[in-house]
Amino acid sequence: MALPGQIVVQWTYRIDRIPDHVVAVPLGKGASVVTEALMILLKVSIVVLIACVGAGTSPSELTYLWRRPALLLRSLAAMYLLVPLVAFGLVLIMPIERGVKAAMLVLAVSAGAPLLPRRLKKLKSQPYIFSLLITSSLVAIVAVPLWVALLGAYFDVRVDLPVSAVVSDIAKTILLPIMIGMALRLILPAWSERLSDRLIKIAGIVLAASGIILLVVHREHLVGLSWQGVLALVGLMVFALFIGQLLGGPNPSDRTALAIACATRHVGIALIVATEFDGVRTAVLVVAYFVTAFIVSSLYLTWRRR
């Protein structure tokens, strides 16, 4: 029974065959503590990176997309409509294990790209990139619970995802850090810029190291993946890159930015949703996707710069 302000979603997975060794792997107390510590490090490093992004953002850059409604609509359609539809289609038609289905659905509802400004710093499209980050985070407050609710017609795994929790988590992990960073820029512009450059490097290293260690600790969840599951995750990236490239508009830098934003998704929101599932498998597969997406999008970015 749903509590007031709470969405209760029933997701039905249509594939019942899951490798026994994947499901039955018990987590010892030590492994559980390590996993919790790594998840905390992942979230803290994301918060720090986003705060540093805010330290490099001006108010005029925030509203860049809002003053260009055509580009705004294309960007939101790519991130919040077309990529999720592709993910749902792959989940429904491909014979993939339900753990991969859960990860893909988490990724589908987690639009946005909080790490985009750092990765695309050399592109001549900074106002678009910053505005895309802020706008996608604001839209996520409504879109994430809505998409999760719509999934209930097709999947049957109980997930209690209160709307208030989504709003609170996005506010604490995205909006508040950006506001703090912007405030520091207004008060201490030179100092905040130097500090943000250093913190971005440190937080980036912590984020990468935590993600890789998490995958090593829970490597059994990756070893048990079928080739169909791997193909589905890679297919989602490729389709997402194509969608962003197609709808990014006439500016080559905007197309590159939107393509990478569509493919990498929002790691902060994805981890919020993934932790609603029992066990760590969904979170591990989501992190594996982000590591792979980072590599694929880096190759794409290198190609686009030629």
Beta-carbon contacts of 113 under 8 Å, excluding residues fewer than 6 positions away, are 132, 133, 136, 260, 261, 264, 265, 266
pLDDT in the model for residue 242: 92
Residue 27 is predicted with a pLDDT of 47
- 3 state SS for the chain: CCCCCEEEEECCCCCCCCCHHHHCCCCCHHHHHHHHHHHHHHHHHHHHHHHHHHHCCCHHHHCCCCCCHHHHHHHHHHHHHHHHHHHHHHHHHCCCCHHHHHHHHHHHHCCCCCCHHHHCCCCCCHHHHHHHHHHHHHHHHHHHHHHHHHHCCCCCCEEEEEHHHHHHHHHHHHHHHHHHHHHHHHHCHHHHHHHHHHHHHHHHHHHHHHHHHHHHHCCHHHHCCCHHHHHHHHHHHHHHHHHHHHHCCCCHHHHHHHHHHHHHCCHHHHHHHHCCCCCCHHHHHHHHHHHHHHHHHHHHHHHHCC
Q: Tokens standing for 16?
A: 């019942």
**CA pair distance 286, 273, nearest whole angstrom:** 10
At 4, list the tokens.
Answer: 């007031």
The pLDDT tens digits for 198-219 are 888 888 888 888 888 988 888 8
Query: What domains are defined for the chain?
Result: 29-304 (1.20.1530.20)
pTM: 0.77
**pLDDT recorded at residue 71:** 92
The pLDDT tens digits along the chain (306 residues) read 444 444 444 433 333 333 433 333 444 455 678 888 888 888 888 888 888 877 777 777 778 889 999 999 999 999 989 998 998 888 888 888 777 877 887 888 887 766 665 556 666 667 888 888 888 878 887 887 777 777 655 554 556 666 677 777 777 877 888 888 888 888 887 787 778 778 888 888 888 888 889 888 888 878 777 888 888 888 898 999 999 999 988 888 888 888 888 888 877 778 777 776 667 778 888 888 888 888 887 788 778 777
Ramachandran sector of residue 294 (left: φ over 0; alpha: ψ -120 to 50; beta: rest): alpha
**Is the distance from CB of 118 to CB of 53 less than 8 angstroms?**
yes
pLDDT value, residue 38: 86
Asked if residues 11 and 159 have their Cβ atoms less than 8 Å apart, the reply is: yes
Q: What is the pLDDT of residues 14-72, one digit of tens each?
A: 333 334 333 334 444 556 788 888 888 888 888 888 888 777 777 777 788 899 999 99
Residue 183 confidence (pLDDT): 85
